[in-house]
Structure 1
Amino acid sequence: MNRWKLLAVASLAISLSACSMLSQNKEEKATAAVESNVSAEQLLKQGRARASEGNYEAAIKQFETLEARYPLGKYAEQAMLESAYAYYKFDEPDTALDTLDRFMRMYPRSSRVDYALYLRGLVNFNRGGSILDRVFPRSFSDLDGVRKKEAFHDFQKLLTRHPNSKYAPDAAKRVGYLRNSLGASEVNIAKYYMRRGAYLAAFNRAEYTIKNHQGTPAIIGALQVKICAARALKRENLASDTMRVLKLNFPKQTNFSCKF
């Protein structure tokens, strides 16, 4: 008798569970049906609302849903840009860059291309170092130099193609900063080679800096390294010629040590 009671209870539990699942499925379908009827404009507004709250993950979901459901039109174009910015703020720089590149391929004549270039520069400009860089800090980073160069080219491209853009003034300031920063990085690398005894590499790096970073403070250090490297390579004539250039242009910078 007890066995039959247990079977009855089990049967009732299964029935209730099935009813609950059916009810849940109906609710999910109803919710999906409602969501599928949300317009592109509404999805864009919802994504922007989430982004303004700092919930970039939810914002990305809204923007990408918009792109998937409404792939054509102004809202999809705008959603792609907003998605790139959200990825940038969500600390996903590679995805942000991929999204921006896709935007410029799909909408090369868009009125927002200047913003896409500016944002691309910002992503590279503010990009943090890798985990290895944080665990094993270095005096310079080749990877960091690559990012700086990419940011420099992005901002430079914006200034060349869209000189009247509202983003141009800030881009110009960043170009100036990056030019100085890149020059300083090159000099640091040249000094590193000097410390390692790689005098030819130091000489070549200093010469490259002099050629490619005219007008920046890095020129002084580059000339000094070139002089020291030339002396170490027994190229006294070259060292003397470079010293004359240093004296002519920077007479107060001729008293320096080759111990870098």
Structure 2
Amino acid sequence: MRNLICLIGILVLGTSCSEYQDALKSTDVKLKYDLAEKLYNEGDYKKANRLFEQIAPKFAGKPQGERVVYFMADSYYKTEDFYLAGYQFDRFSRSYPRSEKAETAAFLGAKSYYQLSPRYSIDQKETIQAIDKLQSFINSYPNSPDLPEANNMVQELQVKLEKKAFEIAKQYNTIRDYKSAIKAFDNFIADYPGTPYREKALYYKLHSSYTLAINSFEVLKPERLREAKLAYNNFTRYYSESEYMDEVEEMGADIDKELENIQDKI
């Protein structure tokens, strides 16, 4: 009985493969369409997609074209070819803005771009593009059931951009380019006022300001020490319970001592 079941399975599989190969070679558009939709409904998205790719140009401007383009885009998405999925969902949205699938296509298209966002250390062009796509979906469909997920994805991508900007600023501190670090942290704090990296940004700005001031020529020290003192005050105002407070207080004491020495010389 087991052998019989295996034999039947092999025969069915062989027939299915033969049917698919014949359809790929066929010039019968309806045959391709019917088999592509059948494969799609069965979850065989890779095979279905190859057939949809073949027939899509034939259905341009025809009523079935809407289904073909959507199925093709969704097949790319389900096989995790997110670059082509995003492109095809965009194409669907432009071509069929009144479709009953328009909202789903807009969401899956935006989600495709989200999937393309790289790790924070790489150029973030795709991340910015994904945020734009998701924000467009949010603005277009404010009552969508997918809105919470879309907002969560935007927030996640935003944090990734913030981490990228923070690490760039921190790198200036690491290589001891303190003037550039101070400027970069000022820009970072202004651009991302609600960032989870704000405490660290203020700490490293203080560290950069302090180190620059302490190691400056005497003629430059007064102004830079006053700027470092402002950075100290700003940090302690918001983060008096910070894990960095021991180091911050040491820097603050050094700054006060240097300012007193300068005053004594006047």
TM-score, length basis structure 2: 0.66
Is the Cα contact below 8 Å between 2:37 and 2:48 reproduced in 1?
Answer: no
Residue type of the partner of 1:155?
L
Is the Cα contact below 8 Å between 2:209 and 2:227 reproduced in 1?
Answer: yes
Specify the alignment match of 1:6 in structure 2.
none
1:133-152, CA deviations, whole angstroms, 9 ceiling, x for partnerless residues?
Answer: 9xxxxxx5232x33333222
1:39-62, CA deviations, whole angstroms, 9 ceiling, x for partnerless residues?
Answer: 85x356235236x13xx3312122
Report the secondary structure of 1:37's partner residue.
helix
Report the secondary structure of 2:149's partner residue.
helix
Specify the alignment match of 1:142 in structure 2.
122
Residue type of the partner of 2:191?
N
Residue type of the partner of 2:103?
D
1:45 aligned onto 2:45: no
Residue type of the partner of 1:105?
R
Residue type of the partner of 2:37?
K
Report the secondary structure of 1:142's partner residue.
coil
Specify the alignment match of 1:229 in structure 2.
208
Query: Structure 1 residues 75, 196: closer, same or farther in 2, change over 3 A?
Result: farther
1:153 aligned onto 2:132: yes
Specify the alignment match of 1:219 in structure 2.
198
1:181 aligned onto 2:160: yes
Query: Structure 1 residues 244, 60: closer, same or farther in 2, change over 3 A?
Result: same
Give the superposition deviation at 1:164: 0.8
Is the Cα contact below 8 Å between 1:59 and 1:86 reproduced in 2?
Answer: yes
Is the Cα contact below 8 Å between 2:73 and 2:84 reproduced in 1?
Answer: yes
CA RMSD of superposed structures (Å): 3.1
Give the superposition deviation at 1:169: 1.5
Query: Which one is further off, 169-178 or 196-205?
Result: 196-205
Between the aligned residues of both structures, percent identity stands at 22
- Taking the aligned partners of 2:60 and 2:37, their CA distance within structure 1 comes to 17
Give the superposition deviation at 1:203: 2.8
Q: Where do 5+ consecutive residues of structure 1 fail to align?
A: 1-27, 134-139
Give the superposition deviation at 1:226: 2.1
Is the Cα contact below 8 Å between 2:49 and 2:76 reproduced in 1?
Answer: yes
1:164 aligned onto 2:143: yes
1:159-189, CA deviations, whole angstroms, 9 ceiling, x for partnerless residues?
Answer: 1221111221211122222233332332222
- Taking the aligned partners of 1:96 and 1:59, their CA distance within structure 2 comes to 14
Query: Structure 1 residues 90, 222: closer, same or farther in 2, change over 3 A?
Result: same
Residue type of the partner of 1:187?
F
Aligned length: 215
Report the secondary structure of 2:245's partner residue.
coil
Specify the alignment match of 2:230 in structure 1.
241
Specify the alignment match of 1:15 in structure 2.
none
Give the superposition deviation at 1:250: 2.3
Is the Cα contact below 8 Å between 1:104 and 1:116 reproduced in 2?
Answer: yes
Query: Structure 1 residues 166, 72: closer, same or farther in 2, change over 3 A?
Result: farther
- Taking the aligned partners of 2:132 and 2:64, their CA distance within structure 1 comes to 29
Specify the alignment match of 2:182 in structure 1.
203
Give the superposition deviation at 1:156: 2.0
1:32 aligned onto 2:22: no
Choose from 77, 82, 91 the match for 2:71: 82
Q: Where do 5+ consecutive residues of structure 2 fail to align?
A: 1-21, 214-223, 249-266
Is the Cα contact below 8 Å between 1:44 and 1:75 reproduced in 2?
Answer: no
Query: Structure 1 residues 256, 38: closer, same or farther in 2, change over 3 A?
Result: farther
- Taking the aligned partners of 2:31 and 2:227, their CA distance within structure 1 comes to 72
1:65 aligned onto 2:58: no
TM-score, length basis structure 1: 0.68
Residue type of the partner of 2:94?
R
